[in-house]
Every structure is written in structure tokens, then in C-alpha cells.
């Protein structure tokens, strides 16, 4: 059961990281304009 909890936490972190990357991409685009 402990390993399952860890896996769920990793999944959440992955999602957060992806969100950040997407935001940075948009920032770059506006900066170039």
C-alpha cells in the first residue's frame, strides 16, 4: 500500500511539471511579439 501512495504522488508532480512547462511556452511566445 505504501508504494501505491508514492506512485500517486509522483503522478501529481508530473502533472504539475507539465502545467509549468506549458505556461513557460506561452510566455516565450508573447515575449517574442
| Residue 33 to residue 11: CA distance in whole angstroms | 34
Chain position carrying cell 512547462: 21
Which tens digit of pLDDT belongs to each residue from 1-33? 566 777 777 777 776 777 666 666 666 666 555
Neighbours of 22 (CB within 10 A): 10
| Residue 15 to residue 31: CA distance in whole angstroms | 25
Q: Length of the chain, please?
A: 33
Instruction: Give me the residue spans of the domains in the chain.
Output: 1-33
* pTM beyond 0.85, yes or no: no
Cα angle 15-11-18, degrees, rounded to a multiple of 5:
20
pLDDT of residue 32: 59
Amino acid at each position: 500500500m505504501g508504494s501505491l501512495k508514492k506512485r500517486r504522488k509522483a503522478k501529481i508532480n508530473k502533472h504539475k511539471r507539465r502545467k509549468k512547462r506549458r505556461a513557460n511556452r506561452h510566455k516565450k511566445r508573447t515575449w517574442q511579439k
